[in-house]
C-alpha cells in the first residue's frame, strides 16, 4: 500500500490540530508539514513535494487558490481546499479533479476526499486542474464572507465592527495589545502576531516587535538614528522602525 505525503496549510491552530487528529486515522497518510500561511505553504510544497496538500482558502497574505496558481505542474500535489464558504458556490469542483471540505467537516467527509484522490490518475487530475482553478478563482472573487474585511471589537454589550482601512496602528503597550483608529483606541484580547496574520499583508506592515501599522495611514517618514525611521501616522502616533524592518520598509514603499 502506497503512502501519501501530506502538507496542511491553515492560519488557525485549532483547524490544523483537528486536521492532524483526523489524518492520523488513515493508514496510508503521512503528515510531513503544517504551514501557518499561504507563503509558508507555497515554499514548502515546492521544497518538500508532498503528494497531497490541504489548503485553507482564507489565509492572510496569500490564500489557498493563489498558492495553487503559483505552482508549476511538476510541483502540483493533489489539492483539497478547506473553506467556510457556502457549498453551492463551489460547483466548479464538480467538473474537475479537485475536492473541497466545507468547514466544519468530519472524518467521513475527509475520507471521501482522500478516496477521490486514490481513484484519480495524476495525468487526468492535472488536465482538469488548471481550468478548475480559474473557475474557482472567479467564484471566490465574487463572494466575500460576511464582515471578512472587519475586526470585531467587543464592548460592554455589543461588537463594534472596525474596517481594515480604518486601523491606523496595532501596538503592544505594557503587555496589552492596543488597536488604534483615527480617534479611538481599543484594548484587544488577541496578540500582535494574530493581527499580523489576519490583516492583509499588502496593507499592513510590522515595523518592529511591538507595532503593526496601516500603510495607508502613514503621514510622514522621518530618517532617524541608526539607519531607522520615525513613522508619523495620521492619528498623530509615532513609531520607530527597527533596523531590519527599515530595510524592508524601503522595499515595501518602493524607494
- Which pTM does this prediction carry? 0.55
Question: What pLDDT sits at residue 171?
Answer: 97
Residue found under cell 524592518 = 245
Residue 99 · residue 91 · CB < 8 Å: no
Question: What pLDDT sits at residue 97?
Answer: 43
Question: What pLDDT sits at residue 52?
Answer: 93
Question: What pLDDT sits at residue 103?
Answer: 81
Strands 4-9 and 52-56: parallel
Question: What pLDDT sits at residue 25?
Answer: 92
Question: What pLDDT sits at residue 61?
Answer: 65
Question: What pLDDT sits at residue 88?
Answer: 44
Over the chain (255 residues), what is each successive 10-residue block's mean pLDDT?
A: 88 89 93 90 92 86 77 81 64 56 87 88 69 61 60 79 94 94 92 86 90 94 92 96 88 67
> Measuring CA to CA, which residue among 7, 120, 102, 114 is closest to residue 54?
7
How far from 66 is each of 5, 133, 192, CA to CA, in Å? 21, 9, 25
Question: What pLDDT sits at residue 247?
Answer: 86
Rounded Cα gap, residues 232 and 238, in angstroms: 5
Question: What pLDDT sits at residue 31?
Answer: 95
Rounded Cα gap, residues 145 and 35, in angstroms: 23
Amino acid at each position: 500500500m502506497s503512502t501519501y505525503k501530506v502538507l496542511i496549510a491553515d492560519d488557525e491552530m485549532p483547524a490544523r490540530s483537528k486536521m492532524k487528529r483526523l489524518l492520523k486515522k488513515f493508514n496510508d497518510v503521512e503528515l510531513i508539514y503544517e504551514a501557518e500561511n499561504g507563503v509558508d505553504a507555497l515554499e514548502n510544497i515546492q521544497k518538500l513535494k508532498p503528494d497531497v496538500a490541504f489548503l485553507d482558502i482564507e489565509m492572510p497574505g496569500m490564500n489557498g487558490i493563489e498558492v495553487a496558481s503559483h505552482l508549476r505542474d511538476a510541483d502540483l500535489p493533489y489539492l483539497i481546499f478547506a473553506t467556510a464558504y457556502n457549498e453551492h458556490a463551489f460547483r466548479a469542483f464538480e467538473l474537475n479533479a479537485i475536492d473541497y471540505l466545507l468547514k466544519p467537516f468530519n472524518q467521513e467527509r475527509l475520507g471521501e476526499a482522500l478516496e477521490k484522490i486514490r481513484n484519480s490518475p495524476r495525468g487526468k487530475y492535472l488536465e482538469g486542474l488548471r481550468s478548475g482553478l480559474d473557475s474557482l478563482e472567479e467564484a471566490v472573487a465574487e463572494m466575500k464572507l460576511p464582515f471578512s474585511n472587519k475586526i470585531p471589537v467587543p464592548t460592554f454589550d455589543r461588537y463594534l465592527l472596525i474596517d481594515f482601512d480604518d486601523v491606523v496602528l496595532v501596538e503592544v503597550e505594557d503587555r496589552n495589545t492596543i488597536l488604534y483608529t483615527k480617534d479611538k483606541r481599543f484594548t484587544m484580547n488577541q496578540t500582535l502576531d494574530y493581527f499580523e496574520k489576519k490583516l492583509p499583508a499588502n496593507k499592513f506592515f510590522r515595523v518592529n516587535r511591538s507595532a503593526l501599522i496601516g500603510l495607508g495611514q502613514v503621514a510622514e517618514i522621518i530618517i532617524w538614528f541608526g539607519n531607522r525611521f520615525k513613522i508619523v501616522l495620521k492619528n498623530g502616533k509615532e513609531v520607530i522602525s527597527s533596523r531590519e524592518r527599515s530595510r524592508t520598509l524601503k522595499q515595501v514603499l518602493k524607494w
